[in-house]
């Protein structure tokens, strides 16, 4: 399976062209499934889920696009949803809480299914959707996360923000393992001070693999074990 990992979706023509290259055919000939699961733990999550439906990832002109909600999958027959996943050319993972998303990827059976999909299928990640594609990741929280499975490693740290020092909880989670590097989205974005250059260095130091910090104009492609950064903006690789 190939991957296109973004910070904020298909935000420019460079990233869109990279998606077409990975698909190997026009978007108008490709079938997609949108997975909004990660957004529901956030206040107003249902409203943000609708934004996922109307986002740049969803409105590219796909041949067809469906909605796959991971939390319902354990309660229905696999024959009702697995063939649909196998038929998709692209799986679009929306942003939100990567711990919640990766937990439901495992609980639903999708994480185990991903390695068996067609090698030309493309995993498209947006923010938390990109983080969840990694093997080991770290996310920051102001309060302990809820709704996840398994024991979590947590650490109290202090990040610098424009308003002054802010306490954070760094939580280490396990993703789908599609890629062997870490991802920090929204690099240098003023609305995401935890991903400032200074704080990203602290964040990346807790990830045991090379980690890419990418801004909203940047994406990472993975195909045949080849990693390429696609950017009209700013990014940084933290080596480990």
Residue-by-residue DSSP string for 140-164? EESS---S--S--EEEEEEEEETTE
Token duo for residue 210 = 């090379």
Please report the pLDDT score of residue 145 as a whole number. 78
Which pLDDT score, from 0 to 100, does residue 47 have?
Answer: 87
pLDDT at 107 over 80: yes
d(CA 118, CA 5): 18
Single pTM value for the model:
0.95
pLDDT for res 111: 96
Give residue 161's pLDDT: 84
* Domain boundaries, given as residue ranges, for the chain: 2-238
Least confident piece of the model among 57-66, 101-110, 149-158:
149-158
- Whole-angstrom CA distances from 37 to 88, 96, 126, 161 are 18, 8, 12, 29
Q: Tell me: pLDDT of 150 over 70.
A: no
Question: d(Cα 216, Cα 219) in Å, to the nearest integer?
Answer: 8
CATH number of 2-238: 3.40.50.880
The answer to whether the CB of 117 falls within 8 A of the CB of 107 is no
Give residue 104's pLDDT: 95
Structure tokens at 72: 């319902």
Q: Would you say residue 83 has pLDDT above 90?
A: yes
Residue corresponding to tokens 């973004």: 6
Q: Mind listing the pLDDT tens digit for each residue in 176-224?
A: 999 999 999 999 999 999 999 999 999 999 999 999 999 999 999 999 9
With 80 as the cut, is the pLDDT of residue 15 above it? yes
Name the phi and psi angles at 30, rounded to 5.
-115, 145
Alpha helices in the chain (DSSP H): 13-23, 45-53, 82-87, 98-108, 110-113, 128-131, 197-204
Mapped onto helix, strand or coil, the DSSP state of residue 23 is: helix
Of the candidates 90, 73, 89, 93, which has an alpha carbon nearest to the alpha carbon of residue 81?
A: 73
| Length of the chain as a residue count | 240
Reported as a pLDDT band with limits 50, 70 and 90, residue 123 is very high
Lowest mean pLDDT among 84-88, 143-147, 174-178: 143-147
Banded model confidence at residue 151, pLDDT cuts 50, 70, 90 = low
């Amino acid at each position: 399976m190939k991957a296109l990992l973004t910070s904020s979706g298909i935000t420019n023509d460079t990233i869109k062209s990279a998606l077409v290259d990975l698909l190997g055919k026009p978007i108008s000939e490709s079938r997609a499934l949108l997975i909004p699961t990660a957004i529901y733990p956030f206040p107003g999550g249902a409203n943000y889920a609708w934004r996922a439906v109307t986002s740049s990832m969803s409105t590219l002109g796909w041949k067809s696009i469906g909605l796959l909600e991971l939390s319902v999958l354990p309660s229905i027959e696999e024959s009702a949803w697995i063939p649909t996943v196998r038929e998709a050319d692209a799986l679009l993972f929306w942003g939100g809480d990567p711990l919640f998303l990766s937990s439901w990827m495992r609980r639903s059976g999708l994480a185990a299914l991903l390695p068996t999909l067609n090698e030309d299928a493309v995993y498209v990640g947006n923010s938390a959707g990109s983080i969840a594609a990694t093997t080991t990741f770290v996310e920051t929280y102001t309060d302990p996360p809820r709704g996840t499975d398994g024991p979590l490693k947590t650490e109290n740290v202090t990040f610098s923000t424009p308003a002054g020092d802010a306490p954070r909880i760094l939580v280490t989670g396990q993703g789908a393992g599609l890629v062997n590097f870490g991802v920090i989205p929204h690099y240098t974005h003023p609305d995401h001070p935890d991903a400032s250059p200074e704080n990203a260095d602290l964040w990346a130091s807790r990830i045991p693999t090379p980690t890419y910090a990418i801004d909203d104009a940047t994406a990472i492609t993975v195909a045949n074990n080849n990693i390429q950064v696609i950017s009209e903006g700013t990014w940084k690789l933290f080596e480990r």
